[in-house]
Amino acid sequence: MKKQHKWFFAVAAGLTLTSVVSTSCVDDIKFGSAFLEKAPGGDVTSDTVFNSPEYVRQFLNTLYTFQYYGLPFRNSSSDAYPCESSNPYVGKPEALTDCYIYTYLSSGIVNSYYYGTHTSNYGQRSDKWDYLKNRVWQAVRYGYLIIENIDRVPGMEESEKASIVAQAKCIIASRYFDTFRHYGGLPIIDHSFSGTDASYDLPRATVEETVNFMIKLLDEAKEVLPWTVDNPQTNAGRWNRAAAMALKCRILQFAASPLFNDDVAYAGGSSEAEAQHLVWYGGYKAELWTQCLQACEEFFNELNANGGYSLVQSKGTRPEDYRLAYRTSYAELDSPEILMSTRQFGYDAFKSGNYIWHQWGDPLGTTDASRNGIRRGYTPTQEYVEMFPWADGTPFDWDKTAAEGRLDEMFMTGSPNGGEDGKSNIVLTRDPRLYEEAIVNGQPTALDWTTGNMSGRSFEAWVGGYDAQQEPDNQTGSFATGYAPIKYLMGPDMLRHYTQWVVLRLSDMYLTYAEALCQNNRLADAIAQVDIVRARVGMKGLAECNPDKNLTGNKDALLEEILRERACELGMEDTRFFDLIRYKRADIFEKQLHGLRISRTGEFAGEGWYNGDKTQPYPTHFEYEKYELSNPVRYWWTNGFDAKWYLSPFPLTEVNKGYGLIQNPGW
């Protein structure tokens, strides 16, 4: 894997920020949440910070640490860590979709959502996005402190001041969008308001006002920022014009979608929030999809003119070569595909003592022979696995494959010792992205970062196998569904590597562009954008592979394929959950999900191979049975999906403060 970047957004105890951009000998400053409220003579005041270019740069670095990092990595309620959503005891929203289940039954996701007990009077680690505990409003305030005070910094070039302000605006907009997609219209804060005044009035803005506010910040920022960061080796992870324009596309995509943009409000229209247009536009506006399309076209026009970003392409034509290209696209710190990412330096190295994402969720994150690690994770469902087509791009059909007697080939052919001289002759048979989104039976444990060669033993996902043990029967652990997670994990392949959270990447932009084209009835153009993403992993075109779906003439069918393609390309990146939310897909949220029970046959049924009699040929024939997931049964599966679940409730204590925060429908 390539050399690490030198520049990271560090989160340290007490928020001690060390500038690595400058070589100045100025002392580092500790920024606490209320440091600017100190009286003169205190440790740090605004006069101290904004009297030094170096301190301002450190302050900007602090602001960067307040951004969203989407992998739950640390259990802490300390103010020194960025977001409650980064706590594994909360859980990721992707576990509420049809793609994953979360096997830690004491998490907020399970207790509040799987069991259907959530209320607006919730406490710590209960909501998927706590309104107050994700450092959103701290980031907004810090951003405006920079904007309001930058002009009085002595000895700083005007161009650097403008760049710092533009970066602050991007962070404010991104933090607003992080929250907007959970709550709808938000109070508009346009200055360094502390929220500690004795009395104040800060009502929710409408959806339209909130969207316009975010877009205005990004439009202003993009006029200043460079298309790419000036020095990727030191400044990767800084906001740039490409990222600002891409975030604009994503905001408009969400705003134009049926949750907020429909003929009828999502909860029926009788609530105060709906009447005041706090959770929708008040009717369907086709021009919103036009605006989204125009933003996408502007982005790709800039890309064509300036370059700087590209999809990672395969160096060969084997399925594992395409798999490596896909892995590299999101996992390499210097991937040319990444427009914006966030990191948690000091916590995100595999086997780090502080980084729970790997400790809890990686099936290879433990070295004990009994495989008895923590093994709590986001295990892929059968429904998700069946979304991935065959390697050539044609749809996978379970019933057809079973009727043809080919279920043993649904993941790969060959075995670890089935070739000449007992070597592996495994050939992957499905969309190469599948093996980066889920660990399937027979999949080799390692993928070389340079050659793409697969090696190591094969995962044994059958009941009684070395890896799965009894987990599919008990519906617990990493293999609770008969599959295990791998995205952002990758076992020893990630040793001494750092795990970034990809905020925006180019393949997402192609698929966003495709969706906007589809919604504007340019179906052939939409298919062409999807095909760019599919070609990167060696698959044929979407329409060619689905001749029975009339994708060039059936808008609804094409939209379904785009959403499926987004799930396959952007798994574990928060995409599926928000796609289902913005399209109001109660039908999918209500759907009973399944795992796959794989059984070894013959004399050694119920036994592992790796920890058993390895003189026998590696098993290649199994029996397969889909089973209903029931540990636990989701409330939505048996009681239906109430429309209130589309948005989170504001905390009742916050609503009761009386500054104008109107509750979301149903809560």
- Full DSSP string of 189-205: --S---S-SSS---PBP
Are 386 and 373 spatial neighbours (Cβ–Cβ below 8 Å)?
no
Residue partners of 48: CB distance under 8 A and separation at least 6: 29, 55
Residue partners of 302: CB distance under 8 A and separation at least 6: 227, 241, 242, 245
DSSP, res 360: H
pLDDT (0 to 100) of residue 14: 27
Please, which pLDDT band fits residue 167 given cuts at 50, 70 and 90?
Answer: very high
Question: What whole-number distance in Å separates Cα of residue 532 and Cα of residue 646?
Answer: 32
- Phi and psi for 653 in degrees, rounded to 5? -65, -30
Q: Does the pLDDT at position 27 exceed 50? A: no
Residue partners of 140: CB distance under 8 A and separation at least 6: 172, 175, 176, 189
Q: pLDDT tens across 429-446, in order?
A: 999 999 999 999 999 999
Please, which pLDDT band fits residue 360 given cuts at 50, 70 and 90?
Answer: confident
Question: What whole-number distance in Å separates Cα of residue 286 and Cα of residue 226?
Answer: 32
AA identity, residue 656: N
Strand partners, 505: 338
Q: If residue 414 lies in a helix (H) or strand (E), which one and from where to where?
A: none
Q: What percent of the chain has pLDDT over 70?
A: 88
* Whether the bond into 632 is cis, omega within 30 of 0: yes
pLDDT (0 to 100) of residue 31: 38
Q: pLDDT tens across 378-391, in order?
A: 999 999 999 999 99
Q: Tokens representing 280?
A: 């929708």
Please, which pLDDT band fits residue 348 given cuts at 50, 70 and 90?
Answer: low
Q: Tokens representing 284?
A: 């369907």
pLDDT (0 to 100) of residue 398: 98
- The predicted model gives 153-170 an average pLDDT of 98
Q: Which of left, alpha, beta for 78 (phi over 0: left; psi -120 to 50: alpha)? A: beta
Higher pLDDT, 282 or 345: 282
DSSP, res 154: T
Cα dihedral across residues 46, 48, 51, 57: positive or negative = negative
Q: What is the mean pLDDT of the chain?
A: 89
Please, which pLDDT band fits residue 42 given cuts at 50, 70 and 90?
Answer: very low
Task: Give the relative orientation of helices 158-183 and 207-222 as an angle to the nearest 10 degrees.
Answer: 150
Q: Does the pLDDT at position 468 exceed 50? A: yes
Question: What whole-number distance in Å separates Cα of residue 70 and Cα of residue 330?
Answer: 13
pLDDT (0 to 100) of residue 21: 28
| Beta strands 100-102 and 378-380, pairing class | antiparallel
Please, which pLDDT band fits residue 353 given cuts at 50, 70 and 90?
Answer: low
Lowest-confidence segment of 53-67, 79-93, 127-141, 180-194 by average pLDDT: 79-93
SS3 387: coil
Chain CA centroid to CA 384, Å = 16
pLDDT (0 to 100) of residue 69: 93
Residue with tokens 């020095």: 231
**CB-CB neighbours of 514 under 10 Å:** 29
Question: Which residue in 457, 406, 488, 380 sits closest to 611, CA to CA?
Answer: 457
Please, which pLDDT band fits residue 361 given cuts at 50, 70 and 90?
Answer: confident
Question: What whole-number distance in Å separates Cα of residue 663 and Cα of residue 652?
Answer: 8
Are 60 and 21 spatial neighbours (Cβ–Cβ below 8 Å)?
no
Where do the structural domains in the chain lie, given as residue ranges?
A: 349-497+594-628
Chain CA centroid to CA 482, Å = 23
Q: pLDDT tens across 93-132, in order?
A: 999 999 999 999 999 999 999 999 999 999 889 999 999 9
Tally the C-alpha atoms within 13 A of residue 49's C-alpha that lie toward its C-beta. Answer: 27
Residue partners of 617: CB distance under 8 A and separation at least 6: 415, 417, 418
Strand partners, 498: 349
**CB-CB neighbours of 521 under 10 Å:** 10
**CB-CB neighbours of 155 under 10 Å:** 8
Tell me the whole-structure pTM to 2 decimals.
0.92
Question: What whole-number distance in Å separates Cα of residue 244 and Cα of residue 298?
Answer: 12
Q: Does the pLDDT at position 37 exceed 60? A: no
Q: Tokens representing 356?
A: 């729970």
DSSP, res 170: H
Question: What whole-number distance in Å separates Cα of residue 431 and Cα of residue 438?
Answer: 12
Q: Does the pLDDT at position 560 exceed 80? A: yes
Question: What whole-number distance in Å separates Cα of residue 224 and Cα of residue 339?
Answer: 17
Which letter, b or e, does each residue of 232-258 get, where b requires 16 or more Cβ atoms within 10 Å of its Cβ?
Answer: beebbbbbbbbbbbbbbbbbbbbbbbe
Q: Does the pLDDT at position 1 exceed 90? A: no
**How far, CA to CA in Å, does 208 sit from each of 197, 211, 254, 279?**
28, 5, 12, 9
Please, which pLDDT band fits residue 26 given cuts at 50, 70 and 90?
Answer: very low
Q: Does the pLDDT at position 81 exceed 80? A: no
User: Per-residue DSSP letters for 45-112?
Assistant: -HHHHTT-HHHHHHHHHHHHTTS---S------STTSS-GGG-TTT--GGGGSSSEEE--TTSHIIII
Q: Tokens representing 568?
A: 């396959």
Question: Which residue in 512, 530, 557 sits closest to 253, CA to CA?
Answer: 512
pLDDT (0 to 100) of residue 197: 53
Please, which pLDDT band fits residue 12 given cuts at 50, 70 and 90?
Answer: very low
AA identity, residue 626: K
- Phi and psi for 299 in degrees, rounded to 5? -60, -50
SS3 637: helix
| Beta strands 501-505 and 338-342, pairing class | antiparallel
Are 191 and 157 spatial neighbours (Cβ–Cβ below 8 Å)?
no
The widest CA-to-CA distance across the chain, in whole angstroms, is 80
Q: Which pairs from 84-88 meet CB under 8 Å and 24+ separation? A: 84/124, 84/125, 84/130, 84/133, 84/134, 85/128, 85/129, 85/130, 85/134, 86/344, 87/125, 88/356, 88/357, 88/360, 88/376
